[in-house]
Amino acid sequence: MNQRDHELTRDDLPEFADVVAAADRLGRAVLRTPVLHSEALDGLIGTRTTFKCENLQYGGAFKIRGAMNAMAVARQAGPVGQVLTHSSGNHGAALARAARHFGSACCVVAPNDSAAVKLAKIRDLGARLVLCEPGIAAREQALQLELQRSPGLVVHPFDDAAVIAGQGTVALEFFEQASDLGALFVPLGGGGLISGIALVAAEIAPDCQIIGVEPQLAAEAQRSLLSGRRERQGATTTIADGLRGSIGERNFHIVKRLVRRIVTVSDAQIAAAMLLCWQELKILIEPSAAVGLAAALETGREFAPRPVGIVLSGGNVDLGQWLKAPAALQSGARVRA
């Protein structure tokens, strides 16, 4: 286990009160995203299902919640000249938006295989974009080089207490919009979203089982839970580009304590879920957002007759890349649909 895993104290970890404070702090800086329902998907899943549409959030993903909260917390100590981060795309764009809001410069390190639409958003929002090789280790190394060249405040994409608290505001809204959920399916990459959601669920919906969902090709969080120590994720080719990272230290501490189950889904199942959302909900989601639906199609009946919830985490799809997806993925999607 990483030495710092032992050194984390209670003061390093966010709590439910921090999520509530984040919600008050964010106010109109984020959208209260809608929820959707489909009788056709209820039939496929085996119980009533409600979808939380963070793909309709500012910037097309939930990430603005954590980035804006982290910037607001940092600004309490005074002006912030520059913020830096590494990101597969959505967090980078969110931090660029938050930095612009607060008048700070922003530098984002992103892997060169990130979705083009996400990289374009980062540039359009005025951030300096630095490309690196795929994999969390390459991202971290490139970020350290940029930090040496141009110092500033690092806002980690998931292993940050203020980021986790901001992401938890998704659950504050969702549990008001959908009551008595038996389970909530949440995409799991670095763990920022599921950590924040788990903190809220433990406080206000303890009977709701939080289920983390990973791609089979990037299942290091599941391995970490089984081994009891954080496992590192190397470079991977899963189409769920936002879930290619390794679970963070704070995130792992929270997941170990509050998340009962992590499941995995194949890329073919992810593709199928994307098309189902398009066909039945009439919305476009990215592969990373589709993992929850993919898992619910396999396990949702376990929770009947109680309803379940699914977080659709983002909608930033590189349609050009999707149309060129391997034929096996597209045929798998058609079979499930």
- Locate the DSSP E strands across 39-127: 49-53, 82-86, 105-111
Phi, psi of 50 (to 5 degrees): -115, 135
Residue with structure tokens 């199942």?
269
| Cβ atoms of residues 200 and 173 within 8 Å | no
| Cβ atoms of residues 73 and 93 within 8 Å | no
- Locate the DSSP E strands across 66-192: 82-86, 105-111, 128-132, 153-154, 183-187
Cα separation of 98 and 92, whole Å?
10
Angle at the Cα of 191 from the Cα atoms of 38 and 119, rounded to 5 degrees: 80
Given 63, 104, 114, 224, the catalytic residue: 63
Q: Which amino acid is at 74?
A: A
* Closest C-alpha among 114, 100, 107 to residue 242: 114
Establish whether 88 is a catalytic residue.
yes
For residue 142, give the H/E element and its range: helix 136-149
| Cβ atoms of residues 193 and 170 within 8 Å | yes
Given 38, 52, 87, 88, the catalytic residue: 88
Instruction: Count the residues in the chain.
Output: 337
SS3 191: coil
SS3 216: helix
For residue 117, give the H/E element and its range: helix 116-124
Phi, psi of 76 (to 5 degrees): -65, -25
Establish whether 52 is a catalytic residue.
no
The catalytic site residues sit at 63, 88
